[in-house]
Structure 1
């Protein structure tokens, strides 16, 4: 669908839903990655302007990606928990409007690209002072959302309701199933999964996990953090998952000495998170989930390549992501070796 057609469909639909004339004054396509399509829209309603982002799917999902309805509902929960994230505006579950379900959220300022977050001089001052603190504080707030606080039973189940007793077993089993569905063997991943089964730590509490909390999924500018984005991989799990994902080597964008997202130090992030949450961070659990994260990303990148190779969704981006699988396998094994040598 071209932009003109999308504009017309959105105008007609929103005018009907909101019972007031809606005009789309501006519309342009934003980067959305391999699975998402995002469009910036400038809406005119009764002489007032509203800047929003329309978010929808472009192809097959990756691992346990949420539906647009569930992603929107999670965004509402997180926004109400006080996390700095774009305000959810409107959800449309009917796929006949533009060809797929979509939702609108507030358009915020800033950039999210890895190079900008980790290296741009515009952020030098913020990077040295409050970047780590702001992200740790907001992540701690996100983790205050727990299953027992949620009244929406359907969403509670969609987020894969688990317990502290069964979560590790289920997480590893999910990876094994995804691995078994790939057409080729990955013995390095099998080896790592075996290690993880025999070294699984206990979990202190089941909380809402962002699922993709990393450099590239939060908007920033010289004034600071503008908002945390992208909840399509949210689920119930261990708080250490999100911290570990942010610390993964692949999200440091070349600044390997800055283990937190390519811009911060672990001890500083742990300190700020603990200050807000009142919960102590266990370094072993973070490393364990880093290993898990690398295995998830290795399998996910192989899945993306398979979408291309099978002809289902051909694209150079999907093919190039698939070439990253071996990097994640190597990093997972390196982290295991690091732990074993320290024992």
Structure 2
């Protein structure tokens, strides 16, 4: 669908839903990655003017990603928990309007690119003062959402209800299943899965996990954090999972000495997270989930390559991501070796 056709369809639909004429005065396509399409829209009606982002799926979504309905419902939960995230505006579950379900959220200021977050000089002051604390405290607020606090039973199930006893075994079993579905063998991944099964830590509590909390999924400018984005991989799990994902080598954008997202130090992040949550961060659990995260990303990148190679959804971005599988395999084994040498 071209952008003018999209504009016309959205105008007609929102006018019908909101019971007043709605005009889109400006619309343009935003970068949405390999699986998402995002459009910036300026809406004008009799009662209001809104700058929003329309978010919908592009082609096929990644395995395990939430539907647009569930992603929107998670954004509502997180917003109500006090997390700095764009205000949810409208959900459309029917695919018939524009060809796939979509939702609207507040358009916020800032940039999310890794190079900007980690290296741009206009963020130097914020990077040195509050970037780590803002992200740590917002993550701690996100983790206050628990299965017990959610009334939507359908959403509870879609986020994969688990227990502290079965979550990690289920996670490993899911990875084994995904690995078995790939057309080629990955012995390094098998080795890491075996190690994780033998070194499974305890979980203190099941909480809502963002699932992709990393540099690239939060908007910033010199005024600070503008909003946390992208809840398509949210699920119930271990709080250490999100902390570990942010610390993964792959999200440091070349600044390897800054283990938190390429801009901060682990101990500072742990301290700020603990100050907000009242929960002590366990460094071994973080490393365990870093290993798990690298294996998940290794399998995920191989899946994206297979989408391209199979012809299901051909694209240079999918192919280039797939080439990076070996990097995550190497990093996971390096982390295991580091733990073993420390014992």
The equivalent of 1:263 in structure 2 is 263
Q: 2:96 matched to 1:96?
A: yes
Aligned to 1:127: 127
Structure 2 partner of 1:282: 282
With normalisation by structure 2, the TM-score equals 0.99
Query: CA separation in 1, counterparts of 2:47 and 2:192?
Result: 59
Partner of 2:113: 113
Q: Equivalences for 1:1-343 in 2 at 5 Å?
A: 1-46=1-46, 48-343=48-343
Q: Distance in 2 between matches of 1:169 and 1:61?
A: 25
After TM superposition, give the deviation of residue 60 of structure 1 in Å.
1.8
Aligned residues: 343
- In 2: Cα distance, 1:63 partner to 1:94 partner: 21
Q: Deviation per CA, 1:72-105, whole angstroms, max 9, x where unpaired?
A: 0000000000000000000000001000000000
Q: Secondary structure at the match of 1:212?
A: coil
Q: Tell me, what secondary structure is at the counterpart of 1:52?
A: strand
Counterparts of 1:60 and 1:334, CA distance in 2: 33
Runs of 5+ consecutive residues of structure 2 not aligned to the other structure: none
The CA distance in 1 between the partners of 2:133 and 2:59, in whole Å, is 36
Which ranges of 4 or more aligned residues in structure 1 deviate by more than 2 Å? none
> SS in structure 1 opposite 2:28?
strand
**Cα distance, 1:52 vs. partner?**
0.2
| Distance in 2 separating the partners of 1:196 and 1:85 | 33
Find the aligned partners of 1:332 and 1:16 in 2 and give their Cα distance: 52
- Measured after TM superposition, the shift of residue 318 of structure 1 is 0.4
CA distance in 1, matches of 2:245, 2:158: 22
Alignment deviations for residues 127-155 of structure 1 (CA, whole Å, 9 cap, x no partner): 00000000000000000000011110000
Counterpart of 2:331 in 1: which secondary structure? helix
Deviations 1:15-41 (CA, angstroms, capped at 9, x unpaired): 000001000000000000000000000
Structure 2 CA distance for aligned equivalents of residues 272 and 26 of structure 1: 40
Cα distance, 1:47 vs structure 2: 6.2
SS of residue matched to 1:163: coil
Q: Distance in 1 between matches of 2:268 and 2:157?
A: 35
1:35-77: CA deviations, max 9, x gaps? 0000000000116320000000002222310000000000000
